[in-house]
Structure 1
Amino acid sequence: MRRQRKAAPVTLSEEDGLRYLHFGTEWIQGGMRMARPFALELEYQRQMMAVGLFLPEPRRIVQLGLGAAALTKFCWREVVSASVVAVELSLDVIETARAWFCLPPDDARLNIVNADAREFISHPRQRGLADWLQVDLYDAAARGPVYDDVAFYRACRKTLRAPGVASFNLFGASFDPSFAAIASAFDDRVLVLPEVDAGNRVVLAIVGPPLAVPFAALDQRARDLEARWKLKARGWVAGLRRANTFGARFEL
């Protein structure tokens, strides 16, 4: 499943201690604070970790799209219960992440796969293997996800075991049709987090048995994650309550 290099050039920029990845345009495809290379610098990337509210001890994490490897590095270092598989089509992106963004070499828990994301998750061998799926697939122009149809999102659903949870980064004007496609594929078991300043919106999708969790329990789990990951997880719970409709407890 190995692929040739993509035509879009991989370029870098630096400003105020941050190093950014671009695909030959001004759009930021990832970033790293050089003094803290394993931290999640961008807010939407932190929100992608909200999957931990619902499944805090995954065994296998699959990520579609590597970018500057921020999520990959963070999960490899902080989510020690899990192996991490990151799928990236561009060999240039993989090499840049290793040379300029401190992506570690593969080991017993980390596997970087040079492959097409759709082909990878559509393969029968990938069905029901992932506890978390994190999807961040944008091209150089950032017009919308590279794959954005119901069939693709159904393949995403099939790669999750039950229970399992996925997070999707969406951006800009493509949000409504993308959200509708994800909701269709996941039988409307979807949640949205509030939009961040850069325009990103993270969607969570869940498979498995119905969930019914008191918000006090969800808040406690968020506190536990804050202690482990040093991320503002209680803000995710508050954001979910603002951006979605619930009764006295979380039900999905």
Structure 2
Amino acid sequence: MSLPDSTPADFHSGPPELRRTRDALTLQFAGSAAVQSIMSVLNPHALELEYTRLMMGFLLFDSDPRRMLMIGLGGGSLPKFCHRYLPNASIDVVEIDPEVIALRDAFHVPPDDARFRVIAADGSQYLQMDPEPVDVLLVDAYDGRGMPAALCEQTFFEDCDAALLPDGILVVNLHLESESYPICLAHLREVFGTSLFEVIDDDMTNSIVFACKGERFDDTDLRRALRKPERMSKDAWRQLQPTFKLIEATLILR
């Protein structure tokens, strides 16, 4: 399919900046104090920020997704992790900012191949083009000013719903202190109803919202889900298991 213009007129953000220390590489936008991504120099595939480990909570409900779509590349933490540890998954990543895409090598984002590609496009417009439905859709799209306005509209979350397979899962990262947080959450509830739950990270900074089609969240045996998936490496599970217990605790109270 032909892609929309990847830099629409209403997209404005300070340029992305790399900041290096002896142990880490971080991504920030000029004029913003918010850290978008952190990469460990010693372990480039590790998920350094807790909210990224929380977003991987979809594995509790689908441990072996075949098709994944991500909106927002950033420093590539989630795409890298999924590419490395979910070998059966075909992964498309949509990123609007060409300057962010240009930094992919610095963050060890894998090159495009038969099952992984980075697409230069507006995420909201991309969903409107009726892409192939996916098992998992991750939305983590912040620039130097916050969540783009187009991704805070109810129509965007309706398009997310349409992009999911019948048992598909949507995971959205929201910032608790952002003005868009209550708006996005209300729209998500309007679209997904009770097939939704929210997990707050320990720092009370990020809200990770999980939404699905059907009854997947109600039907999952969490005791079984909290065991390491057969195909997952011990290294990946060691990173995720402590955070997954927070998701379990949230669901028990749901």
Report TM bin, short chain: 0.7 to 0.9
2:189 maps to which of 177, 183, 186: 183
Partner residue in 2 for 1:240: 247
Partner residue in 2 for 1:250: none
Q: Which residue type is aligned with residue 224 of structure 2?
A: A
Provide the C-alpha distance between the structure 2 equivalents of 1:155 and 1:139, rounded to a whole number of angstroms.
Answer: 21
Residue 49 of structure 1 pairs with residue 52 of structure 2: no
- Tell me, yes or no, if the aligned pair for 1:193 and 1:236 is still in contact at 8 Å: no
Partner residue in 2 for 1:83: 90
- Tell me, yes or no, if the aligned pair for 1:62 and 1:84 is still in contact at 8 Å: yes
Provide the C-alpha distance between the structure 2 equivalents of 1:141 and 1:107, rounded to a whole number of angstroms.
Answer: 32
RMSD, matched Cα: 2.4
What is the Cα deviation at residue 212 of structure 1? 2.0
3-state SS, counterpart of residue 29 of structure 1: strand
Write out the 4+ residue segments of structure 1 that deviate beyond 6 Å after TM superposition: none
- Tell me, yes or no, if the aligned pair for 1:27 and 1:141 is still in contact at 8 Å: no
Moved more, 186-195 or 132-141: 186-195
Q: Which residue type is aligned with residue 175 of structure 2?
A: F
Residue 217 of structure 1 pairs with residue 221 of structure 2: no
The alignment's TM-score, normalised by the length of structure 2, stands at 0.86
Partner residue in 2 for 1:116: 122
- Tell me, yes or no, if the aligned pair for 2:166 and 2:214 is still in contact at 8 Å: yes
Partner residue in 1 for 2:174: 170
Partner residue in 2 for 1:3: 6
- CA distances 1:151-181 after superposition (whole Å, capped 9, x unpaired): 1111111101011111111112343332221
The alignment's TM-score, normalised by the length of structure 1, stands at 0.86
- CA distances 1:87-133 after superposition (whole Å, capped 9, x unpaired): 000111001122x1111210011110000000001212x15x11011
What is the Cα deviation at residue 232 of structure 1? 4.6
Residue 59 of structure 1 pairs with residue 62 of structure 2: no
Give the unaligned 5+ runs of structure 2. Answer: none
Number of equivalenced pairs: 243
- Tell me, yes or no, if the aligned pair for 1:10 and 1:23 is still in contact at 8 Å: yes
- Tell me, yes or no, if the aligned pair for 2:169 and 2:213 is still in contact at 8 Å: yes
Could you say if the C-alpha distance between residues 228 and 190 of structure 1 is closer, same or farther in structure 2, counting changes exceeding 3 Å? farther
Residue 205 of structure 1 pairs with residue 211 of structure 2: yes
Residue 32 of structure 1 pairs with residue 39 of structure 2: yes
3-state SS, counterpart of residue 103 of structure 2: helix
3-state SS, counterpart of residue 104 of structure 2: helix
Provide the C-alpha distance between the structure 2 equivalents of 1:194 and 1:13, rounded to a whole number of angstroms.
Answer: 27
What is the Cα deviation at residue 215 of structure 1? 3.4
Give the unaligned 5+ runs of structure 1. Answer: 248-252
What is the Cα deviation at residue 80 of structure 1? 0.6
- Tell me, yes or no, if the aligned pair for 1:150 and 1:181 is still in contact at 8 Å: yes
Partner residue in 1 for 2:237: 230
What is the Cα deviation at residue 244 of structure 1? 4.3
Provide the C-alpha distance between the structure 2 equivalents of 1:94 and 1:163, rounded to a whole number of angstroms.
Answer: 31
